[in-house]
Structure 1
Amino acid sequence: MVKGTLNELSQLKQSGFGQPCPPRHGLNLLYWFAHDYIDFSNGNIVSDYRPQNGDFGFHKFHNRIDEEEDDHLLPNQNLPYYEVGNLNYSGADELPDYVRANYSRNIPDNNKDRVIVRLDVDGRLNRVYVTEHSDPKRFSSSKTFRVSQGLLQIIKNKSRDQYLSELSNTGENLSFEEQCHRETAPENKSSWWCAIL
């Protein structure tokens, strides 16, 4: 089940989604989604794209019951869900370079983040979620959050450097990219995240 709703950048930061910066790509993925994939009109999320067309690697998300938790990851309301962020999926090469920049099948953890959208009965985007894989087949319910329309608008109105800097975990006055290059690689060298298909 969804852990909660993220309404502010500080809540996104506390959620841990897409962190640490390289190898994780989730923060850049969410920025691209909010800044370039969607827009807002009359209080609704709108897009020139349709996730069901498969652009940018979007594909159907099957909201199956998790055997360990005996529940669906997302609300089960007979509405279609689509996910994006699997850098191995067909069409993901259409994502911007900054989302794919650090991707390598040999780097642990850099293909575990996803953005999931739910369509309403008219085919419009009406819910947005972020999550991460807990293993190659399952997503982590404790790391699954709804992203409010307000937070998406906050992200859309920022430059990428502003957005990433506000989510940084250091107090130093460095750009997010500079901070990322100073961080050490994770101790866990397993690369199964990168091979998810």
Structure 2
Amino acid sequence: MVNGTLNDLSQLKQSGFGQPWPRHGLNLLYWFAHDYIDFRNGKMVSISSPHDNRFGFHKFKNDDDDHIVPIENLPYYEVGNLNAPGADELPNYVRAEYNQSNRDSNKDRIIVHQDANGNFNRVYVTEHLKDNLKQFDSKKTYCVSQGLLQIIKNMTREQFLNKTSKTQEVHASQPQISKPEVGGVRNRPQIREVTAPLDNSCSCTIL
């Protein structure tokens, strides 16, 4: 089952999702929050229906013995498999480090659940088991709160990676991650975030 709810950037970093390089989960989550979804009247809407199979979306079969997300009547969809039809629509920065010979470069996924009106009411991040690419790791499955998704949406990718990546590698495929210089010559905009304890209820509500 789900291992709790991520409510802020520090919890996302501590979860280890999308890390270390060459995993693509952090860039995938940034694209999802910043470009794929929007918030209208307290609802989470998407630029296209996952049913259309754009960006590699496809139905998630929650039929393993160890259900990583709650059993629901309405469908779940997953995105993040860089081999899936339509995944070539994902931005280059999400796909840049993909290497078929390196399983870690394609192990991260986002799972979404739709309500009866077609809005997203839950978002999860997860990863494949180390030695089984057909099953996901329930201990590495987290609900992502709408509050955290809104924080990510208001950040640049540079700011987001600086806040959430544990590694300092800089790759040619992505912009140089800048750091504040001594004396205040160059300062990044400050991102305010609310730090909250890990919530095991997985309500995914706006904080």
C-alpha displacement at 1:37, in angstroms?
0.1
Query: Using the alignment, how far apart are the partners of 1:118 and 1:177 within structure 2?
Result: 34
Equivalent position amino acid for 1:47 in 2: S
Q: Deviations over 1:113-150 (max 9, x none)?
A: 00000001122111100000002110000000000000
Q: Which position in structure 2 is the counterpart of 1:138?
A: 135
Query: Using the alignment, how far apart are the partners of 1:65 and 1:23 within structure 2?
Result: 27
Query: Using the alignment, how far apart are the partners of 1:177 and 1:10 within structure 2?
Result: 21
Q: 4+ residue stretches of structure 1 with deviation over 2 A?
A: none
C-alpha displacement at 1:30, in angstroms?
0.2
**Secondary structure, counterpart of 1:18 in structure 2:** coil
Q: Which position in structure 1 is the counterpart of 2:41?
A: 42
Q: Which position in structure 1 is the counterpart of 2:13?
A: 13
Q: What are the ranges of 5 or more consecutive residues in structure 1 without an aligned counterpart? A: 182-197
Equivalent position amino acid for 1:165 in 2: N
Q: Deviations over 1:70-127 (max 9, x none)?
A: x311010212000000000100000000000011112241000000000011221111
Q: Which position in structure 2 is the counterpart of 1:185?
A: none
Q: Deviations over 1:30-86 (max 9, x none)?
A: 0000000001011110122100110000000010132xxxx3110102120000000
- Contact 2:19/2:165, CA 8 A, preserved across alignment: no
Q: Which position in structure 1 is the counterpart of 2:24?
A: 25
**Secondary structure, counterpart of 1:104 in structure 2:** coil
| Residues 169 and 46 (structure 1), Cα distance of their counterparts in 2 relative to 1, 3 Å cut | same
Equivalent position amino acid for 2:83 in 1: N
1:152 aligns with 2:149: yes
Query: Using the alignment, how far apart are the partners of 1:133 and 1:65 within structure 2?
Result: 13
Q: How many residues align?
A: 171
Query: Using the alignment, how far apart are the partners of 1:155 and 1:42 within structure 2?
Result: 18
- Contact 2:113/2:120, CA 8 A, preserved across alignment: yes
1:99 aligns with 2:98: no
Q: RMSD of aligned C-alpha atoms?
A: 1.7
Q: Deviations over 1:158-190 (max 9, x none)?
A: 0000000111325xxx6x636x99xxxxxxxxx
TM score, norm. by length of structure 2: 0.79
Query: Using the alignment, how far apart are the partners of 2:15 and 2:77 within structure 1?
Result: 22
Q: Which position in structure 2 is the counterpart of 1:4?
A: 4
TM score, norm. by length of structure 1: 0.83
1:125 aligns with 2:120: yes
Q: What are the ranges of 5 or more consecutive residues in structure 2 without an aligned counterpart? A: 175-207
Decide which of 137, 158, 161 is 2:158's aligned counterpart.
161
Query: Using the alignment, how far apart are the partners of 1:4 and 1:36 within structure 2?
Result: 25
